[in-house]
């Protein structure tokens, strides 16, 4: 800790105080919310500026505000026939021009005597078809909240309905659902798990591959999402990558526990509107390990690197082309054979008595093309190619000699080619149609083997390769009865060619602003999802020694959801949101024989059991209530309190209803932060976060059988009856920002679990000692970061 603070203060010492007012540029574009067509002539002004700073959009809907003082400003955007919009607390920094993408909503009923000003819901969804359980977030939020570590997933765990009581991973557990129910999208295209050290079929990992510096405002959905989203049962991360600055070249440098990072953006030429944006990051954990920081991997040091970029190419007559790429590579080895057994080694990831080698890779490239047929109609088409690879080798150790012995080998590769074409038509201010299709070619290769010691042979658990097609078609319609009442209805259809499974999903949403600052929101629908692809190819050994695929006919798991919400913007900066929901899951894979197993618990641990002979006969249900109290950032201060009470149950093939692995029952988060403007150049920022949550549910261990077999044997007859003690973690983040003449420097010190609270993570059987041992989550964990924009 002393070394970390010393490094932080050495970096801070390069900040030289020199008060001088700086200026910068705010640029962006203004579009129609329904048609997405540019609005020329819209007026943009900075509220309270003296003299007044303002401009209008050009023929492309673009604008540029020059000579804007550094700091935070409130913007007003207006255009005849549209609701006036106010965007508060726009941060203007040196070294990086501020870019905004603004959408205005056309009025249903125009009046020359009335000007409607949007009481800007700072969390309103970007996707206008979403009416409930959706939160818009910015990259500033991903960086702002204490404990988030610049990770969108960890940021989302602060929102109501999301459980994040796990220091080792960033899995998104929504309303008691398995994290596998989440859909990740980037620029409108589905992407593989965007996390380092993530496993196939899961959606989380210890370190995010996503770079928050590259994100534009995006949507996070926790239920009853619109008809365009398919193959998901719990939630959607609908991410957008921002375009680079097409007028000026800008650069970024950053170093911290997450890695060393470099970034650049700018125009391809002064005469073109085309731009590029690129970032590269390489792990620095070996350095922080050397100075004594423990990040929960014992003596092992994770290694990872990632690269992401976007090219934006607008044309005059052929529409707009965008190309994005995200690449990630990670590797770690847990070598217990090399450990000093006389010392304790906190390790949340490895297993006692095993050497484990793990590598994961993911990559995705997507090309989108959007062309307007007229000012109210556009066609968007896209194609992406993605791949994800996991390779795991596990050697068991001889308890006496600690010699590694063959135990387990797995190599899983999954590639996807996705094509989409979508049609959007705004018929009037009242009616909008959005329809399209996604075709996904899934190409797979799985090889999973277990070494059988008595027979001295490798036995195949799963060995398959091939391909199949997932087809999706959707259509959704939004009708605005008035400026206060709107509804959307839609259908989504899926067909999986591998086993001819299909699903038809009706969706509906309603929003009624019955008072100026109060609204009721409603959503319901059916949502279906394929099983994780490796599950279909688990082998069953026949008595004659041959193998068969007994899971190949599994259909979709189905989720029926109904949600009712109430929003009250009690003032310009305060908001109360209340939601209640019920979710019923059916067609859940369970074992043919009578047992407690259910695929609803998939993703509860780093590894998942290979279970064969599954059928779609299980059920589950989740219900709860969520309360959000929020003060949006104003005068340098914000506050967020989210409170979730829920119950999550499932029923296996034995007919017994039990707690799911994710039934923590409650989650409470309290976050607050304050910016202190020390002078014209220096701003000191402090953020806090408190998390209270029900303890993790674990499988009980049959100790006697474990001693006999020499390895951990779980009591599968009584799963998840054991719940660990309640989880509590306080986080503190201290930041200093300095605005120079041409650069902005930021020094951040995040103090995770600042009181060193010992939260129990799990209980494992020790092969060496023959007893159960407690494994604790991370204790006090300092995370320094230095960032420069120029």
Cα dist from 772 to 396, 745, 766, whole Å: 18, 49, 6
What per-residue confidence (pLDDT) applies to 350?
Answer: 57
Question: Which carries the bigger pLDDT value, residue 143 or residue 76?
Answer: 76
- Per-residue pLDDT reduced to its tens digit, 588-620: 999 999 999 999 999 877 667 789 999 999 999
In three-state secondary structure terms, 747 is strand
Neighbouring C-beta atoms of residue 607, cutoff 10 Å: 12
Q: Which of 271-275, 373-377, 488-492, 668-672 has the lowest mean pLDDT?
A: 271-275
What per-residue confidence (pLDDT) applies to 389?
Answer: 94
- Cα separation, 513 vs 241, in Å, equals 31
For residue 6, the surrounding DSSP H or E stretch is: helix 2-12
pLDDT at residue 19 greater than cutoff 70: no
- Per-residue pLDDT reduced to its tens digit, 245-269: 998 999 999 998 888 999 999 999 8
Note the maximum CA span of the chain: 88
Q: Which of 97-101, 482-486, 704-708 has the lowest mean pLDDT?
A: 704-708
What per-residue confidence (pLDDT) applies to 533?
Answer: 92
By the 8 A CB rule, do 486 and 514 touch? no
pLDDT at residue 15 greater than cutoff 70: no
For residue 470, the surrounding DSSP H or E stretch is: strand 457-480
What per-residue confidence (pLDDT) applies to 298?
Answer: 67
By the 8 A CB rule, do 525 and 561 touch? yes
Q: If you average pLDDT over each of 126-140, 392-406, 595-609, which comes out highest?
A: 126-140
Q: What is the DSSP string of 751-778?
A: EETTT----EEEEEEETTTTEEEEEE--
- What pLDDT band is residue 568 in, cutting at 50, 70 and 90? very high
Burial of 505 (0-12, 13-18, 19+ CB in 10 A): buried
By the 8 A CB rule, do 87 and 45 touch? no
Neighbouring C-beta atoms of residue 59, cutoff 10 Å: 8
pLDDT at residue 68 greater than cutoff 80: yes
Neighbouring C-beta atoms of residue 260, cutoff 10 Å: 15
| CA angle centred on 196, ends 125 and 204, rounded to 5° | 50
pLDDT at residue 646 greater than cutoff 50: yes
Q: Which of left, alpha, beta for 654 (phi over 0: left; psi -120 to 50: alpha)?
A: alpha
- Cα separation, 556 vs 444, in Å, equals 19
* Overall average pLDDT of the 651-676 stretch: 96
By the 8 A CB rule, do 254 and 284 touch? no
What per-residue confidence (pLDDT) applies to 113?
Answer: 42
What per-residue confidence (pLDDT) applies to 116?
Answer: 44
The rounded radius of gyration (Å) of the Cα atoms in the chain is 27
- What pLDDT band is residue 38 in, cutting at 50, 70 and 90? very high
Q: Nearest CA to 664 among 177, 154, 234?
A: 177
- Per-residue pLDDT reduced to its tens digit, 205-215: 889 999 989 99
- Cα separation, 40 vs 53, in Å, equals 18
pLDDT at residue 4 greater than cutoff 70: no
- The CATH H-level (homologous superfamily) assignment of domain 250-789 is TonB-dependent receptor, beta-barrel domain (2.40.170.20)
DSSP state of 282: E
Average pLDDT, the chain: 89
- What pLDDT band is residue 339 in, cutting at 50, 70 and 90? low
- What pLDDT band is residue 12 in, cutting at 50, 70 and 90? very low
List the chain domain ranges. 250-789
* Overall average pLDDT of the 403-408 stretch: 82
pLDDT at residue 188 greater than cutoff 50: yes
What per-residue confidence (pLDDT) applies to 14?
Answer: 42
């Amino acid at each position: 800790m002393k070394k970390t603070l010393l490094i932080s203060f050495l970096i801070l010492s390069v900040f030289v105080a020199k008060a001088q007012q700086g200026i910068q540029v705010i640029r962006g574009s203004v579009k129609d919310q329904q048609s997405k067509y540019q609005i020329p002539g819209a007026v943009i002004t900075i509220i309270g500026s003296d003299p007044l700073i303002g401009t209008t959009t050009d023929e492309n809907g673009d604008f540029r505000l020059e000579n804007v003082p550094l700091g935070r400003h409130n913007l007003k955007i207006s255009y005849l026939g549209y609701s006036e919009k106010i965007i508060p607390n726009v941060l203007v920094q040196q070294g990086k021009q501020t870019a905004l993408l603004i959408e205005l909503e056309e009025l249903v009923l125009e009046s020359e005597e009335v000007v409607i000003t949007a009481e800007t819901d700072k969390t309103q969804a970007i996707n206008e078809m979403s009416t409930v359980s959706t939160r818009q977030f910015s990259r500033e939020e991903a960086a702002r909240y204490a404990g988030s570590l610049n990770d969108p997933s960890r940021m989302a765990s602060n929102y109501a309905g999301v459980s994040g009581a796990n220091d080792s991973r960033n899995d998104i557990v929504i309303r008691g659902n398995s994290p596998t129910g989440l859909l990740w999208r980037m620029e409108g295209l589905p992407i593989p798990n965007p996390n380092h050290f993530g496993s196939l079929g899961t959606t989380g990992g210890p370190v995010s591959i996503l770079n928050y510096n590259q994100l534009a405002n995006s949507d996070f959905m926790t239920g009853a999402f619109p008809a365009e989203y398919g193959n998901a049962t719990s939630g959607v991360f609908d991410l957008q990558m921002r375009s680079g600055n097409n007028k000026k070249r800008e650069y970024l440098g950053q170093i911290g526990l997450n890695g060393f990072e470099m970034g650049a953006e700018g125009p391809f030429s002064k005469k073109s509107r085309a731009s590029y944006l690129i970032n590269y990051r390489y792990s620095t954990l070996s350095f922080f390990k050397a100075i004594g920081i423990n990040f929960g991997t014992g003596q092992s040091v994770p290694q990872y690197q990632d690269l992401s970029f976007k090219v934006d190419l607008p044309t005059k007559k052929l529409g707009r082309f965008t190309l994005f790429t995200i690449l990630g590579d990670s590797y770690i080895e847990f070598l217990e054979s090399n450990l000093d057994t006389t010392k304790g080694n906190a390790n949340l990831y490895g297993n006692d008595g095993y050497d484990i080698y793990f590598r994961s890779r993911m990559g995705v490239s997507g090309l989108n093309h959007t062309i307007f047929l007229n000012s109210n109609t556009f066609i968007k088409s896209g194609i992406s190619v993605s791949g994800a690879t996991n390779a795991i080798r596990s050697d068991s150790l001889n308890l006496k000699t600690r010699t590694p012995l063959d135990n387990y080998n797995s190599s899983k590769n999954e590639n996807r080619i996705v094509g989409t074409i979508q049609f959007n038509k705004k018929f009037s201010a009242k009616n909008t149609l959005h329809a399209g299709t996604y075709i996904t070619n899934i190409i797979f290769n799985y090889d999973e083997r277990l070494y059988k010691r008595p027979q001295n042979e490798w036995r195949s658990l799963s060995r398959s390769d091939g391909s199949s097609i997932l087809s999706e078609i959707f259509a959704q319609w939004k009708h605005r009865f008035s400026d206060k009442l709107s509804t959307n209805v839609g259908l989504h259809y899926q067909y999986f060619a591998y086993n001819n499974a299909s699903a038809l999903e009706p969706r509906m949403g309603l929003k009624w602003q019955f008072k100026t600052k109060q609204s009721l929101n409603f959503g319901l629908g059916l949502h279906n999802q394929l099983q994780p692809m490796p599950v279909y190819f688990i082998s069953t050994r026949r008595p004659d020694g041959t193998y068969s695929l007994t899971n190949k006919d599994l259909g979709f798991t189905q989720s029926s959801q109904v949600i009712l919400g109430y929003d009250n913007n009690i003032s310009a900066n305060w908001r109360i949101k209340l939601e209640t929901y019920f979710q019923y899951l059916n067609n859940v894979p369970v074992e043919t024989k009578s047992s407690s197993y259910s695929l609803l618990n998939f993703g509860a641990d780093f590894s998942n059991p290979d279970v064969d002979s599954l059928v779609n006969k299980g059920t589950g249900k989740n219900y709860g209530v969520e309360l959000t109290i929020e003060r949006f950032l104003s005068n340098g201060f914000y506050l967020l309190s989210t409170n979730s009470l829920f119950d999550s149950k499932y029923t296996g093939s034995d007919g017994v209803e039990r707690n799911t692995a994710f039934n923590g029952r409650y989650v409470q988060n309290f976050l607050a932060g304050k910016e202190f403007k020390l002078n014209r150049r220096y701003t000191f920022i402090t953020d806090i976060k408190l998390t209270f949550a029900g303890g993790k549910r674990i499988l009980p261990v049959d100790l006697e059988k474990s001693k006999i077999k020499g390895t951990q044997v779980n009591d599968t007859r009584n799963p998840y009856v054991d719940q660990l003690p309640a989880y509590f973690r306080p986080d503190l983040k201290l930041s200093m920002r300095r605005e120079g003449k041409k650069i902005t420097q930021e020094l951040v010190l995040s103090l995770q679990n600042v009181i060193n609270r010992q939260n129990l993570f799990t209980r494992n059987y020790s092969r060496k000692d023959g007893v159960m041992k407690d494994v604790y989550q991370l204790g006090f964990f300092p995370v320094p970061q230095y960032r420069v924009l120029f």
